[in-house]
Structure 1
Amino acid sequence: MNTMSTEIILTGRRVLVTGAARGLGASFAQALVNAGAHVVISDVLHDAGQQLAKDLGPSAHYVPLDLLDAQSVRAGVDAAAQWLGGLDGLINNAAITNSGGKGMNELSPDTWDRVMDVNVRGTWLVTAAARPHLAASGSGRVVNIASDTALWGAPRLLAYVASKGAVIAMTKSLAREMGEDGTTVNAIAPGLTLVEATEYVPQERHEHYLKGRAIQRPQVPEDVNAAALFLLTQASGFITGQLLPVNGGFTT
């Protein structure tokens, strides 16, 4: 009996991943190269980004990109498109937390503004800079990495939760605006994933997730990769403006 392969093929697809020097972004970059894509890793962590590109081989390249600097964003996106020879896909992965463990009355306005500037304004700036390159592709794909914290309202994480809620809402608006280009825009909402950025998360929060999942095991970056890669394929061309939670059934 014939069986269908679950392998996702992205041979020749040209993809930019922000915040890709480590953690979930690095996992996306590795999975993309494994699927046959050409990848640009962008980050403010220059040494880590350059090392990852070197480790991934000739299909990967690093460009510096600072989401807090609009000029850096434009230059980074253009440099990525130049190295790739165009742009077929974008994963908006870069984000910061900064507000973890603080209640609403403990947050400073500066912290709130920084989280919003990176996570929301930065996502908009990168997508806007990438739009003409994606439109030229004719089958552009944008995948925004949100968070399931915005779906269940994680406490003592207000700025981050609000920013990821904004990313989800922005995804729907961008999908309608960029649909005229033939570009799709979708969002993924991962659950608490075991990466460097979540090492600070209290153990009780990890246990809360573990017990609340339909699939009761820790979530690892590989759990999110296939969803992101599928949304970058030609096969996903009529899916846009959607949110896909990937969290083992923690939210429904």
Structure 2
Amino acid sequence: MTVSTQPEIMLTGRKVLVTGGARGLGEAFARALVAAGASVVISDVLHERGEALARELGQQVFYVPMDLSDAAAIKAGVDAAAKHLGGLDGLINNGAITNSGGKVMGDIAVDTWDRVMDVNVRGTWLTTVAAQPHLAASGFGRVVNLASDTALWGATNLMAYVASKGAVMAMTRAMARELGPQGTTVNAIAPGLTLVEATEYVPQVRHDHYRNGRAIERAQVPEDLTAAVMFLLSRGSGYITGQVLPVNGGFVMN
């Protein structure tokens, strides 16, 4: 099946930072943003890939290094992004790691657990904190957090990641209440298992479990998520905040 990449929502003139933007879902979001007319900063720890993608996508796209486990690097990266773009209207908190895949909870090393929480939870929190003044100054603040439907159905052998994405969902609601008075919305999408480089290690049985359990019975690809993210960054989503939207072909339904 061919999935259209034609933008249905235009974001002309919007200024958006995408964390973890060098590959996978982040790359798909960056490409969709450019197609929709936005200016974009890609941040990542994959420097060569991030720089190459920024060059490919054109003059309105920049790359800044950002390690989501490093508080100082986050603040510097967000401020650099705002400087490149002349402000920030939107933030996509996409950067994350898995690390604990394939292990039951009793076999996960404590330092692995801490690393996942540092990047996925603390990184999302600190990136949003650093972006908050820029988003408020724009008068049009939009934050989209990347959660996961694994936290909605309780995926096994993935405890640290599942816990981190459950925390992202909870933070989304708390952030929405704190940032709402300044006019910034905060929402999350919860993707299902998506065909990207980061999921190549996932056993075929898990891919089959997802595909067979979906109301729309096919593999999920990055382009299945971009329209939802573009909408949550748009003017039309201005009265939607604190929500978690599963985008998974009906594997999990709210």
1:14 alignment partner AA: K
Runs of 5+ consecutive residues of structure 2 not aligned to the other structure = 1-5
- How far, CA to CA, are the matches of 1:7 and 1:203 in structure 2? 33
Q: Which amino acid aligns with 2:163?
A: A
2-side partners of 1:136 and 1:24: how far apart?
28
Q: 3-state DSSP class of the match of 1:197?
A: helix
Shift of 1:246: 0.1
Q: In the aligned structure 1, how far is the partner of 2:156 from the partner of 2:7?
A: 37
Shift of 1:139: 1.3
Corresponding position: 1:170 with 2:171: yes
Q: Which residue of 2 aligns with 1:111?
A: 112
Identity %: 73
CA RMSD of aligned residues (A): 0.9
* Alignment of structure 1 residues 46-57 onto 2, 5 Å: 46-57=47-58
Alignment of 1:91-102 (within 5 A): 91-102=92-103
Please report how far the alpha carbon of residue 183 of structure 1 lies from its aligned counterpart in structure 2 after TM superposition.
Answer: 0.0
Partner of 2:42: 41
Displacement, 1:6? 7.2
TM-score, normalised on structure 2?
0.97
**What is the match of residue 64 of structure 2?**
63
Shift in alpha-carbon separation, 1:6–1:225, aligned structure 2, 3 A: closer
Determine the C-alpha separation between the residues in 2 that align with 1:18 and 1:98: 18
* Pairing 1:82-231 to 2, within 5 Å after superposition: 82-231=83-232
Residue 7 (structure 1) shift = 1.3
Q: Is the 8 A contact 2:194 2:220 kept in 1?
A: yes
**Counterpart of 1:189 in structure 2: which amino acid?**
A
TM-score (norm 1): 0.97
Q: Which amino acid aligns with 1:239?
A: I
Aligned to 1:245: 246
Partners in 2 of 1:13 and 1:215 — Cα distance?
Answer: 32
Equivalenced residues, count: 248
Separation in 1, partners of 2:8, 2:99: 36
In 2, Cα distance between equivalents of 1:99 and 1:204 = 18
Paired with 2:214 and 2:60, the residues of 1 have a C-alpha distance of 36
Q: Which runs of 5+ in 1 are unaligned?
A: none
Query: Structure 1, residues 118-158: CA drift from partner, whole Å, max 9, x if none?
Result: 00000000000000000001110000000000000000000
